[in-house]
Amino acid sequence: MSKRTQSLVLPLLAVITGLILGGIIMWVSGYKPINAYVALFQGAFGNSVFIANTIAGAIPLILTSLGIAIAFRTGLFNIGAEGQYWIGAMVGTWIGYNFPHLPWYIHIPFALIGAMVAGGIWGGLIPGLAKAFVGAHEVITTMMMSYIAILIGHFMLERGPMMAPGYNPQSPLVTMSATLPTLVSNSNLSAGIFIAMVAIIVVYLLLFHTTFGYRLRTVGHNPMAAKYAGMNVPLFTIYSLGLSGVLAGLGGAVQIMGVDHQLTDTFSSGYGYTAIVVSLLARNNPIAIFFASVFFSALSTGSQVMQINSGVSPNMTDVITGVIIFFVATDKLYSYFRGKFRRSSKAQSEQKGVSVS
């Protein structure tokens, strides 16, 4: 297989394996996997509202995983996008309900940019500086920063400064001037999809058609060579993690301003982690990220109908997702088994050779 076909075929194989293993687990547990998958598909694409919700669910995934892809392309693993997403949502919400007199064309960009800056600082500045200057591994620092962000979020809402009057851990609603308009009525699909599409194009151009993107990728490919070529590797580390956080922060704000309209304790259901899966499956290609995001969003949107129609708990989709990442990570499995096969057939032919002579 050429590298290009491999990057298409292997992720597809991982998805298929995930669905089959998920089906086997359902079957062993006494469910009908085919019915469950049909219900899942209907729940994701069965009518225009379902389709709109599936696309809506893909928006935060697209934005967050674009950021993760930038980090991966620079050889960095931003595992803490979940927290950067929370920080973006927090700042977006705060700006969204605090300036009710701004016109929308100022209020919306203000909230989005605020969220991006906050996400960038959270993901880029602290883990980036720690990595660039003392070599602290970004997997651990971004993960720890992520938990800190979520705890701050809960603190803000649970009798904290962002709690709305009343007893529920939730913030006030963002004003109309900070709300992204809904595109399909009765669905969650907002104008945020345009922001996601623009982000895909921008990240694509940035990575593959600018000197800056070329340098980022060089640092990721071979930091030593990049260093000898005169690139400031620590600086690119900070840029890359920073951009990663900027996009996750944007994702959080777009989710608030387009769908949730207020911050609650249960704001994110692990979008930051699913986004990592999206980037891995899409092999950090911005265009493939769109399709991978829609796929994972379809899994989670469709799982509701799957539960109603076939009784399978929606957690099944996490099992499937876990299996998919496992097979994405073990992409050498293919060549491993081929190697084994070759070795054994070689051994056989050698034996034959001996017996003939």
Partner 1 sequence: MSVLGLVFSNPELYGSTLAMATPLALGALGGTFSERTGVVNIAMEGIMLIGAFFGVMAAASSHSAWIGLLAGVVAGGLISLALAWPAVRLQSDQVILGMAINLFAAGLTAFLLNTVYGFGGTPISTPQLPQLTIPLLNNIPFVGAVLGQQNVVVYIMILLVIIGHFFLFHTNLGLRMRAVGEHPEAADTVGINVVRIRYFGVLIGGMMSGLAGVYLSIGMLNSFEVNMTDGRGYIALAAMIFGKWTPFGSLGAALLFGFATAVSYSLQNYGVSANLIGILPYALTIVALTGVIGRSKAPAADGLPYEPSK
Question: Per rule CB under 8 A, is residue 276 in the interface with partner 1?
Answer: yes
- Closer by beta carbon to partner 1, 237 or else 317: 317
HEC letters along the chain:
CCHHHHHHHHHHHHHHHHHHHHHHHHHHCCCCHHHHHHHHHHHHHCCHHHHHHHHHHHHHHHHHHHHHHHHHHCCCCCCCHHHHHHHHHHHHHHHHHHCCCCCHHHHHHHHHHHHHHHHHHHHHHHHHHHHHHHCCCHHHHHHHHHHHHHHHHHHHHCCCCCCCCCCCCECCCCCHHHCCCECCCCCCCECHHHHHHHHHHHHHHHHHHCHHHHHHHHHHHCHHHHHHCCCCHHHHHHHHHHHHHHHHHHHHHHHHHHHHCCCECCCCCCHHHHHHHHHHHCCCCHHHHHHHHHHHHHHHHHHHHHHHHHCCCCCHHHHHHHHHHHHHHCCCHHHHHHHHHHHHHHHHHHHHHHHHC
Token digits of residue 343: 């070795």
Cβ–Cβ under 8 Å, residues 123 and 245: yes
Q: Which of 13, 102, 104, 154 binds partner 1 (CB under 8 A)?
A: 154
Question: Per rule CB under 8 A, is residue 70 in the interface with partner 1?
Answer: no
State the minimum distance, in angstroms, from the CB of residue 162 to partner 1: 12
Question: Per rule CB under 8 A, is residue 333 in the interface with partner 1?
Answer: yes
State the minimum distance, in angstroms, from the CB of residue 311 to partner 1: 9
Question: Per rule CB under 8 A, is residue 248 in the interface with partner 1?
Answer: no
- Closer by beta carbon to partner 1, 95 or else 277: 277
- Closer by beta carbon to partner 1, 14 or else 189: 14
**Stretch of residues binding partner 1 (CB under 8 A), selected from 85-93, 134-142, 254-262, 284-292:** 134-142
In the block, residue with structure tokens 């032919």: 349
Question: Per rule CB under 8 A, is residue 263 in the interface with partner 1?
Answer: no
Question: Per rule CB under 8 A, is residue 144 in the interface with partner 1?
Answer: yes
- Closer by beta carbon to partner 1, 103 or else 161: 161
Q: Which of 55, 256, 277, 282 binds partner 1 (CB under 8 A)?
A: 277
Residue type present at position 249: G
Q: Which of 100, 109, 160, 181 binds partner 1 (CB under 8 A)?
A: 160
Question: Per rule CB under 8 A, is residue 13 in the interface with partner 1?
Answer: no
Q: Which of 62, 115, 121, 145 binds partner 1 (CB under 8 A)?
A: 145
Question: Per rule CB under 8 A, is residue 320 in the interface with partner 1?
Answer: yes
State the minimum distance, in angstroms, from the CB of residue 228 to partner 1: 22
State the minimum distance, in angstroms, from the CB of residue 344 to partner 1: 16
- Closer by beta carbon to partner 1, 185 or else 266: 266
Contact residues: partner 1, CB under 8 A: 25, 29-31, 77, 79, 126, 130, 134, 136-137, 139-141, 143-145, 147-148, 151-152, 154-155, 158-160, 273, 276-277, 280, 312-313, 315-323, 325-326, 328-333, 336
